[in-house]
Amino acid sequence: MDVVETSIPGLQEIKLDVFSDERGSFREAYQAAKLKDLGVPPLDIVQMNVSESQYGVIRGIHAEPWDKYIHITYGEVFAAIVDLRREAESFGQVATFTLGISNALFVPRGLGNSFAVTTERAVYSYLVTEHWRADNPYPAVAYDDPALAIPWPIDPEKRIVSEKDRTNPTLQDAYGTA
């Protein structure tokens, strides 16, 4: 494993060691002691979520109030992370990644997370440090906000986006600043 610091403070990309042969592959997607030694904050994991989606699905941009460790267990996604921490110098900054079986992301609370499935199917798995609650408001911004200029690799006519995500406010509307 190796950790790469990104342009957004606290957001870390983890490069995983993948061992492959004629049978398939093996990797340690999350190993607390190794990650801690590499500078990834320790996680008090309370829940594991799995999202399976088809090509063209775009989910997000969501900023849940928890730390998140993301790993794609099958397929590939284009991930776009947006800093939604008002107090941060990097507020509104976007970082993008291609995520597959050979890497993972540590996303601290306050960052908006989104992804687009770029293969026929993808299985997006993530560990979180707080339980989801239906009564808790979760900040979100528009995946297609022109001010963010995220270079989505899916043609607009092939995008599959939920009604909720299609109606998220722009960064300007949600936070009063761009």
- Enumerate the active-site residues: 62, 126
Q: Which of 60, 37, 141 is nearest to 68 (CA)?
A: 60
Which structure tokens are listed for 29?
A: 């997607």
The answer to whether the Cα torsion of 74, 162, 143, 92 is positive or negative is: negative
Cα Rg of the chain, angstroms: 16
Host H or E run for residue 58: strand 57-62
State how far the Cα of 170 lies from the Cα of 175, in Å rounded to an integer: 8
Q: Torsion angle of alpha carbons 22, 24, 30, 32, nearest 10°?
A: -40
